[in-house]
Amino acid sequence: MESPKKVAEKVLPLTKEVKEKIRQKLEEKKEELKRFQLILENEGDRLRQKRLGDKSATLLVEIGELESKLRW
């Protein structure tokens, strides 16, 4: 059986890599949310506003989930 130190040496770089991927995805979602909010502000069509609002809400949930994963 491997020592805890050797296991940690293998796992820690992976954890950093995973967290970096989560951060990158989080930034992408935030940028996407900004785009949708800009479109939403400039859009007059009610149905389109509702769809964009729904998408914005979904993005906010995804951002929250990604941020919570980074806090582990």
Count of CB atoms situated within 10 Å of the CB of 22? 16
Which structure tokens are listed for 4? 């805890």
pTM over 0.75: no
**Quick one: pLDDT band at residue 43, thresholds 50, 70, 90?**
low
Which structure tokens are listed for 69? 């994963």
Measured CA to CA, the distance from residue 42 to residue 62 in angstroms comes to 24
User: Quick one: pLDDT at residue 24?
Assistant: 92
| Dihedral sign from CA coordinates of 26, 31, 32, 37 | positive
HSE-up (13 A, CA, CB side) for residue 65: 8
pLDDT tens per residue across span 2-29: 777 777 777 677 777 888 888 899 999 8
Which structure tokens are listed for 47? 């149905």
